[in-house]
Structure formats: structure tokens, C-alpha cells
Structure 1
């Protein structure tokens, strides 16, 4: 599939909704999401169908609690893409600005309550804003995406299926990407460099919070 393939936008839109905090609006959209997933090729659709089956079979309160326990309380599954590349260091502020600038260039402004590197936000941008730039942002942070996907799979998390579908929209991993994933798995995100002043205004520095609600 190419960048012009509209099925990418459909997949990213579904994935964005599924990577957001589960609420009643999401449950009400399940028939529409199933219908949209059926239009996708098997590598994208099969893992989405598996996750939609899980949503349908699980009480909403349980889904919400699992989401919080998975993404809000465990950094190894952080949905914030710049965390894997920069950890909680001050350099992450500049990386967040790059996301903001990319969205602004496409005519989109985020609510101040949302960090621009949350995977659900990036997927929404790729689906409805600028697919070329959205895809590039995901490729630039591919090591973190793959580490999250593998971690979720090893933990038996149902959200691993959503990450499988995301990965299926991106190019196959090459040797350098495999090495980057292995290095990140072994070393983890960087730690703060003592003595450096912030590189971005405080409002762009990451604060502990949950995903898009």
C-alpha cells in the first residue's frame, strides 16, 4: 500500500479511537468501527477485529480500569512517543514542539489538555490532517512504537492488537530499526542531564497525565 491509499487513513482513524480512553461513546461506535475495519486488508483488519471483539465482551468499567493500569501507570507502555526517545528529560520539550508545529502547519490546533505526541493524537492527525507528516512522525519514533507493541504482546494486553495494526501501516523494519529497538530495550529512555536549562517553555514540558479522555 502507498501513502495515497485511503485505507491507511481509515486504519489510523480506527486505531486512534481504540488508543483513547474507553468510554460510552467508543462503545456506541463499535458497529461503525467494525464496518470500517472490514474494508481494510487482513494485516490491518485482523488485529483490529480481535480488539473489537474484546471491547464487545468486556464491561466498560473493566476496560477503563485496564486502560489506566496499562498506559497511565506503566512507563514501558507509555503512549507518548517522545518518552521513548527522550525520557523525562528537558530535551523532550523541543520534541513536543516539533509535533505542535507539524499540526499547526496543517491548520490544526490541539487543546492544551492534550500532549501532541500521544499515539491516539498522532494517529488522528495522520488520518484527518496530514498523512505524509503523520506517517513520518510515527516512523521517526518507530523504535518506541515497536517496543510498546512487543511489551504489550508479552504482557498479554489486548491493546497489543491495536499496535499490531499500527505497525502494519508502516514500512517493514530494516536492520537499523531492529538495532534501535534492541538498544532501546536494553538501555531504556535517556535520563536527565544534570545542569541543563529547559529548551522549551514550561507549558510544553510533559506532565504526568492519562491519555485523551
Structure 2
């Protein structure tokens, strides 16, 4: 399992089958591309996750990434918000996936970070690094917010920033994160529901509101047809 694939799996909603692949995850965390300190941090994250109860891990994930927008793993939400540009950006990304033989399930949004990382894990290293460089400011802000909230996922996002080799000042971003008003409190969520416009069409959320169906054991890439 490549490093980007591993980070994507660890950022994704922790489904129960993840615990069946514990040894594979631990082995992948010992990636020689990382510094010894990072390998130790990554392995500690994996071990802590494997030692946790799946229901507790799932509850913690929802509280982290599915409450408020500041920690959203939908990249275009941080770039375009709810503007029309977001829809076109998604169309363009889907086309890029398809050109390279990568098909999405109907429930998946193309800008979901774990999905993007799975895709990039199958692309040439230079291309993957370039894409991570372009989204480095988003990964950096997510890393800063995670660190400010004392979330263990901070190390995963910091590794992505480093993989993109971008000039991201994490200390400056952490200072900015410390000054932000939290959007994951009960009061903030109540205000969001009051202000949220009803959306129809292709961008409307699914009715059951479940996270996308992902599996750590499944590679979503389909081989390109000759």
C-alpha cells in the first residue's frame, strides 16, 4: 500500500473492515520516504486507531469531519464554497479521473480528499506531487485546525503538506486557526441549519446522509481499456 493510499484510508470514515487489515496498515506506515520521526508518529496513529472500538472511532470521525465546514474533507468547499464554480470544478475533476481509467461510485463526490488520494496513488509521482502542491494550502489549513483542536489526524494532514513540497507556513496557519470561531459547536450547527438553503438537483445530498461507501481493501481505480 502506497503512502498516499494509506493516508487516504486513515482519513476516510473508519468502516469495520479496516480493523481486518491492521497489519497491512502498520506495515505501510513504515514508509522509507518519511523521516524516522514521521514514521513513528504515523505508526502511533494507526496503532491508536486499531486499539480503539470501531463505534467510538466512527463517532469521533463524524464529530471531526462531518460537523461544520472548517474540517470538511471536500476540497472544493474550501475553494468555491457553494458557488457555481464548484460544480464546474467537479465536472472537470471527474473528467480527469475518467481519462485515466478511474471510475467513481454514484455516491462519491470527486473532491473528497481520501478519494483524491486513492486516485493520486495510482498516478506518476511527479503528477501526484504537483497536485498535492496545488492543494497544499487547504491541507495546511486543515492540519492547523486539527492541531488547534488537538486531533490526532493533524499528523496525516501535515504529511500531505510535506508530500506536496509547498511553501506552507504551518505555524502561521496555526495562529490563524487559533483565532477562528469554531463552527462545530451546537450553537454554530443550529445557525447553519437555519441559514442553509434547500438544494435540488445533482448537488443535493443523499437522503440517508451516510458517508460515501469506501473500503480500505478496495482500489477504486479501474484499468483503462486498451
TM-score (norm 1): 0.76
Distance change >3 Å, CA 172–CA 129, structure 1 → 2: closer
Query: Tell me, which stretches of 5 or more residues in structure 2 are unaligned?
Result: 181-199, 215-226
Aligned pairs for 1:131-150 (under 5 A) are 131-150=125-144
Contact preservation (8 Å) 2:131, 2:164: no
Q: Would the aligned equivalents of 2:136 and 2:168 in 1 still touch at CA under 8 Å?
A: no
CA RMSD of aligned residues (A): 2.9
Q: Deviations over 1:44-82 (max 9, x none)?
A: 523321211220232111100010111111210000111
Query: 1:39–1:10: structure 2 CA closer, same or farther, 3 Å change rule?
Result: same
Question: How many pairs were matched up?
Answer: 187
2:29 corresponds, among 37, 61, 71, to: 37
8 Å CA contact 1:20–1:211 kept in 2: the answer is no
Q: Which runs of structure 2 are paired with 1:182-193 in the superposition (5 Å)? A: none
Q: Would the alpha carbon gap of residues 46 and 131 (structure 1) be closer, same or farther in structure 2, given more than 3 Å must change?
A: same
Alignment of 1:16-35 (within 5 A): 16-35=8-27
Is 2:68 the counterpart of 1:74? yes
Of 70, 82, 85, which aligns to 2:79?
85
Partner of 1:105: 99
Deviation at residue 129 of structure 1 after TM alignment: 4.1
Is the 2:132–2:160 Cα contact (8 Å) retained in structure 1? no
CA contact (8 A) 2:29 2:43 kept: yes
Relative to structure 1, the CA distance from residue 206 to residue 169 in structure 2 (aligned partners, 3 Å threshold; closer, same or farther) is: farther
CA distance in 1, matches of 2:142, 2:168: 18
Shift of 1:164: 1.9
Partner-residue secondary structure (3-state), 2:145:
helix
How far apart are 1:27 and its partner, in Å? 1.2
Q: Which fold has the larger relative contact order, with Cα–Cα distance below 8 Å and residues 6 or more apart in sequence?
A: 1
TM-score by length of 2: 0.72
Q: Is the 8 A contact 1:85 1:141 kept in 2?
A: no
